């Protein structure tokens, strides 16, 4: 029996799955935590991957790493980090992103060049911030890697140069996504000097070998890994509720959205993965539970005591700034608080705000691709919540397909490893897991009130490209447009 090891080096932890290459059955799982914060010494990820893969790496015939997108790992000539890595959710580079957009000729020119309009998350914006605020560190940069590249290099045999894949590379800001090639001129424009980049491994190809001779695939970004792990097909929209909120869809054609709402990423299998991302997702519920002094089960129970609309209470949950719409300097806003407001109303408002934000993301994805979804799937740790399960189809206005809980980024990495091991033209087909379909009566008025608050706060945005979502919603309750 051939075994493959899929690794997810995420914002919060490393997850490692040892998987049967023939059918995708998970044989063993290990985890190790990462340090908190939006800037982290990347060597901590290497310690975590060593811990999580101890006893598993030796059993694997092939390995692949999925990782958090965008993070800036800047190395000197001795391959040592010049500073802590800046992660995707570090917004200090928002102004740098705006500067780069202007230098590239505006938002649409930026999207045409790289597939996306830059925001603070992108690696190039972080490199510009480094140039302008820490020139002594910028002067030492010899090579720039993404988090998954750094972990893959750690697992590779000595003498192996760094490598990446087109999926994760498409989130750097210096990769021409539609053409699948680096734009070193854009990296130099951002950093102020040239730097080495990893080679790009083709979908399904071998990137290197481990020290013990196992196949090491090219790896990919976390969202691309999840799409591969769930075997998404055109017509599927995947909504992920984790540290960030993400709506993504597999596409056969590239997207270049000049509004900046939809990022035109590549996927891990040769196609494209247009995506809409929110910075605030599961953390909305974490914060609300802490404020109300309950655990997540208690928060869910409270929310289900309240009625749709949360007694008139509405929350705009942009606590840490926001990416969709692009408001890096925004804050959270509550409205509709009255003497009659209950703890249950406050709990429900948090769930409804999270789901309205995700529904906005789905709407914009559908508008950019022009394809109505056949299915809306939802994954992420927050889907364990009884309240989220009950309210998701109501707020999104359509049935929601809930796959079984699983580490889909790591599973996608394992599928990529099995693909590289097999040397086939397409990734292996593994049996699809049973899913649960969630249904509820739609509550469009909840989204209408949320949209009104969202638009009334639009002046808070400081971006030169204000991205807002119109007060319209996609008809997901009738996705095929039939009666």
Catalytic residue list: 222
Q: Over 82-136, what HEC string results?
A: CCCEECCCCHHHHHHHHHHHHHHCCHHHHHHHHCCCCCCCCHHHHHHHHHHHCHH
Sole residue written with tokens 């359509």: 398
User: String of b and e for 382-409 (b: at least 16 CB within 10 Å)?
Assistant: bbebebbbebbbbbbbbbbbbbeebbbb
Q: What whole-number distance in Å separates Cα of residue 198 and Cα of residue 92? A: 25
Element containing residue 238 per DSSP (H, E):
strand 236-241
Sole residue written with tokens 């999104």: 396
Within 13 Å and on the Cβ side, how many CA atoms surround 61?
13
Provide the β-strand partners of residue 20. 3
Sole residue written with tokens 């993404």: 146
Question: Is beta strand 39-40 parallel, antiparallel or unpaired with respect to 215-217?
Answer: unpaired
Q: What whole-number distance in Å separates Cα of residue 112 and Cα of residue 32? A: 39
Question: Is beta strand 143-145 parallel, antiparallel or unpaired with respect to 314-316?
Answer: unpaired
CB 187 within 8 A of CB 195: yes
CB 183 within 8 A of CB 44: no
Angle (nearest 5°) at CA 429 between 423 and 433: 145
DSSP string, 367-425: HHH----SEEEEESGGGG-HHHHHHHHHHHTS-EEEPPS--HHHHHHHHHHHHHHHT-S
Q: What is the distance between the terminal CA atoms of the chain, rounded to a whole angstrom?
A: 49
């Amino acid at each position: 029996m051939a075994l493959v090891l899929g690794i997810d080096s995420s914002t919060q932890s490393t997850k490692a799955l040892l998987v049967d290459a023939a059918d995708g059955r998970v044989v063993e799982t290990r985890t190790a935590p990462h340090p908190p914060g939006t800037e982290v010494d990347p060597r901590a990820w290497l310690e975590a991957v060593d811990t999580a893969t101890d006893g598993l790496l030796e059993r694997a015939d092939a390995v692949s790493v999925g990782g958090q997108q965008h993070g800036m790992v800047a190395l000197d000539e001795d391959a040592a980090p010049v500073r802590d890595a800046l992660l995707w959710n570090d917004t200090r580079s928002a102004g740098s992103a705006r500067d780069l957009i202007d230098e590239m000729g505006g938002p649409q020119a930026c999207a045409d060049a790289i597939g996306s309009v830059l925001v603070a998350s992108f690696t190039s914006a972080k490199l510009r911030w480094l140039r302008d605020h820490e020139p002594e560190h910028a002067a030492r940069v010899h090579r720039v890697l993404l988090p998954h590249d750094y972990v893959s290099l750690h697992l590779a045999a000595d003498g192996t140069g760094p490598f990446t894949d087109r999926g994760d590379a498409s989130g750097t800001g210096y990769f021409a996504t539609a053409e699948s090639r680096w734009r070193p001129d854009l990296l130099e424009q951002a950093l102020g000097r040239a730097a080495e980049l990893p080679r790009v491994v083709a979908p399904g190809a071998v990137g290197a070998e481990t020290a013990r001779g196992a196949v090491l695939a090219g790896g990919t970004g976390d969202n691309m890994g999840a799409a591969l792990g769930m075997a998404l097909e055109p017509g599927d929209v995947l909504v992920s509720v984790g540290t960030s909120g993400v709506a993504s869809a597999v596409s056969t054609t590239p997207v270049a959205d000049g509004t900046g709402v939809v990022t035109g990423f590549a996927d891990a299998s040769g196609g494209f993965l247009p995506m809409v991302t929110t910075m605030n997702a599961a953390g909305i519920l974490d914060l609300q539970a802490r404020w109300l002094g309950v655990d997540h089960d208690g928060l869910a129970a409270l929310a289900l005591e309240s009625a749709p609309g949360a007694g008139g209470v509405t929350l705009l949950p942009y606590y840490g700034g926001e990416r969709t719409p692009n408001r890096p300097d925004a804050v959270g806003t509550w409205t509709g608080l009255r003497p009659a407001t209950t703890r249950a109303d406050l709990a429900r408002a948090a769930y409804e705000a999270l789901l309205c934000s995700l529904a906005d993301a789905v709407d914009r994805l559908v508008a950019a691709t022009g394809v109505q979804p056949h299915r809306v799937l939802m994954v992420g740790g927050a889907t364990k919540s009884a309240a989220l399960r009950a309210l998701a189809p109501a707020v999104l206005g359509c049935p929601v397909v809930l796959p079984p809980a699983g580490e889909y980024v790591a599973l996608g990495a394992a599928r990529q490893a099995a693909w590289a091991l097999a040397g086939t033209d397409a990734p292996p087909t593994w049996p699809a897991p049973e899913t649960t379909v969630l249904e509820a009566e739609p509550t469009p008025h909840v989204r209408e009130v949320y949209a009104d608050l969202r638009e009334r706060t639009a002046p808070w945005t400081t971006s030169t490209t204000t991205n807002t979502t119109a007060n319209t919603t996609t008809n997901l309750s009738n996705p095929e447009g039939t009666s």
